[in-house]
Structure 1
């Protein structure tokens, strides 16, 4: 086997099982940093070993075994430094180990959810919870998380280290909390799963197609549907599952040119995912608690309904976005509401509805550019398209926006 093939096999194993393996490795002591270091060491050894010996029949089990051996080396070192018997250190470290640890990691589907709830513990700073979950459970590096949050890589890395030390120092248990505590932590867990999906929306040259089960979007879809299954009476868990399924239904494949939503052919959308999302949304709407994810799922359902009717109900979108801005006034929701206002009441009304303070918020510049073009203000629109292109992370979207700017200048 060649080195590239071995690397691809290791990357597939890491994508599929990163969160499960970190959760298993960290469960005995709560030491996330050691768990991540041990797994990183195992992946490096896989790249050296697998090209010569071939990929093992159970790649995840191989990685788990090697990583555990690395942990034991560290524990032995700790015993040496503290002059405590090795057996004492190992017994203490392993005292919370579950018998399930010996099972194939693929069979332990809830371990990632346990780790999500651990990272949502109220003892951890609220600003660190979602970034910590994105890294520890989903394997995103600090640079990508920092980019999604609009902060520096070093600042985000320090924030993550502090959160991991907090978990280890306070010995937060690696268990799913009771019903009351689980309800308190659920919003943070849902936010992290949505964050896992949201970071894929920017795309990138190496990003797997979002409908692929091996992609981050596929992982978010799995976690959302698993939460909805485990918590069938939580309308926001159902709403998140609906939101991701309906959004994922319209996801393009690898190498596809960027196509704005209004220009997409609904025949290309995934009918099964649409049906799945609509079913979750119906179940969520039967409850008497309305939340952000249910509203966002309803917005996606309106868009997806164009596959059936051939039209987009813009008035329904404006109503839903108005409710979303009232409930969760994020910049994204405010920009989307302004776009809907522009479609219904004219571009000048849409421009007036755009929020202030959006210097580096790419969707706001894209919406502004479109509305300016609709208003016939082509010079300003071209400049806004340039700004939107500069801020775009997806190469396909960046190229589309740059082409729009060039086209307006050529008028």
Structure 2
């Protein structure tokens, strides 16, 4: 049933370079098309795990055939056709299909069965959106939602996801397997939730993509300052979501936030690879294309939120996008509109109460009204249990103490931040700050 391409003549056998290029093509097409393949198959099979297995089968066939036979003219179509054939074979064997034949009291030939399944797969419609909501179903833990989303929508391998989140491949594989089994055992239907449930489920989807981006942007451990592949994957998923959930102000605000944050990545490391914190970044190295896209998405979100009859207002992601836009519009760290950022953090605190929001607000207050005012904000939350072991708390304190001219205390705070972080690059950044203060 697999679609193939004609064999090459013996005199035209592929070189090692051809085979490597074909394998790279398979990987690239898979990364782009995995979500669509799995989504279409899941609607037909009714089971996410089975759908992923069929899509993986198509990938294996491509890895076997393309390096020796050449890349087909339409690689994405080839993968879809091969996956369809797997679905058709499975549909023929399904007892539910046989019961359907008995109920209607007539036989259908294979051609009719093939056509029915192909029609179902061709009508992708909201399949990707169904896949998003299924992978982020609340019956799963947040960790499982993240893993399953990257696996099914992102097309990442288990090894890639494990590297991104600093766990073993075996641990991540078990997490993904348990997630799929949970969906099957709990009989989670591959369908869009009811309108009343959709808003809450959409929040779960945004949370998952947000966690993926945050782990990429500021890795919690390891030696890398950030993980570009996770940031890129989260940004791609956010854009896909914005295309599926039309005219939702908060989703557009979410996309704007990720675009504007990702724009800073080129300036977050120096020429020697050492980390560069926000106050020292060369803003000319920020990606202006991403900045423009982010601000455009934010502008659109604000217009939609102001229209009469809108049932979803700007939420915490859009507010964070406005904060990021303030940074993007400023020519330097010092020239940033800190008063507006401090006000926006006050709004964000009301929408999304969190001591981490207060830590960030302390920076804005310190820049707008003086470092002592910012330190007062930190003092008010310093004993919060959730901030115990949080390296950014002493790092912000060190920043504000340095602005206040209290170099010795600032050094001690940066050293404390360096001890607390599990990320080697972040540790180096704090140690460099402390060393700079020691030498004046």
Normalised TM-score (structure 2): 0.71
Which is greater in Rg?
Answer: 2
Which residue number corresponds to residue 240 of structure 1?
A: 254
Q: Of residues 368, 372, 376 in structure 2, which corresponds to 1:349?
A: 376
Partner-residue secondary structure (3-state), 1:138 = coil
Distance change (3 Å), C-alpha of 1:166 and 1:280: same
Which residue number corresponds to residue 341 of structure 2?
A: 317
Gaps of 5+ in 1: none
C-alpha distance in 1 between matches for 2:386 and 2:159: 24
Distance change (3 Å), C-alpha of 1:10 and 1:191: same
C-alpha distance in 2 between matches for 1:309 and 1:239: 23
Q: Of residues 293, 313, 336 in structure 1, which corresponds to 2:317?
A: 293
Which residue number corresponds to residue 231 of structure 1?
A: 246
Which residue number corresponds to residue 197 of structure 1?
A: 213
Displacement, 1:21?
A: 1.7
Displacement, 1:312?
A: 0.9
Q: Of residues 289, 297, 300 in structure 2, which corresponds to 1:280?
A: 300
The farther-off stretch of 379-388 and 296-305 is: 379-388
Question: Conserved in 2, the CA contact under 8 Å of 1:41 and 1:67?
Answer: yes
Displacement, 1:350?
A: 5.2
Which residue number corresponds to residue 367 of structure 1?
A: 396
1:127-146 equivalent positions in 2, closer than 5 A: 127=142, 128-140=144-156
C-alpha distance in 2 between matches for 1:286 and 1:309: 31
Distance change (3 Å), C-alpha of 1:99 and 1:368: farther
Displacement, 1:142?
A: 6.2
- 1:57-107 Cα offsets, whole Å, 9 max, x none, are 22223333444555667778887xx9x89x99x99x99995726248xxxx
Number of corresponding residues: 392
C-alpha distance in 1 between matches for 2:162 and 2:355: 18
Displacement, 1:372?
A: 5.3
1:105-116 equivalent positions in 2, closer than 5 A: 108=124, 110-116=126-132
1:174-189 equivalent positions in 2, closer than 5 A: 174-189=190-205
Distance change (3 Å), C-alpha of 1:383 and 1:253: closer
Question: Conserved in 1, the CA contact under 8 Å of 2:159 and 2:169?
Answer: yes
C-alpha distance in 1 between matches for 2:67 and 2:265: 34
Question: Conserved in 2, the CA contact under 8 Å of 1:3 and 1:51?
Answer: yes
Displacement, 1:408?
A: 5.0
Normalised TM-score (structure 1): 0.75
Partner-residue secondary structure (3-state), 2:53 = helix
How much is the aligned-residue C-alpha RMSD, in angstroms? 4.4
Gaps of 5+ in 2: 1-16, 103-109
Which residue number corresponds to residue 384 of structure 1?
A: 416
Which residue number corresponds to residue 101 of structure 1?
A: 121
- 1:9-68 Cα offsets, whole Å, 9 max, x none, are 222112212222221222222322233333334434433433222222222233334445
Displacement, 1:225?
A: 3.0
Distance change (3 Å), C-alpha of 1:361 and 1:2: farther
Which residue number corresponds to residue 220 of structure 1?
A: 237
Partner-residue secondary structure (3-state), 1:175 = coil
- 1:339-378 Cα offsets, whole Å, 9 max, x none, are 3234334364354245543355454454344345553225
1:390-401 equivalent positions in 2, closer than 5 A: 390-391=422-423, 395=425, 397=426, 399-401=428-430
Displacement, 1:390?
A: 3.5
Displacement, 1:131?
A: 4.7
Distance change (3 Å), C-alpha of 1:183 and 1:278: closer
Question: Conserved in 2, the CA contact under 8 Å of 1:335 and 1:364?
Answer: yes
Question: Conserved in 2, the CA contact under 8 Å of 1:210 and 1:253?
Answer: no
Displacement, 1:276?
A: 1.1
C-alpha distance in 1 between matches for 2:164 and 2:338: 29
Which residue number corresponds to residue 59 of structure 2?
A: 43
Distance change (3 Å), C-alpha of 1:274 and 1:205: closer
1:61-72 equivalent positions in 2, closer than 5 A: 61-69=77-85
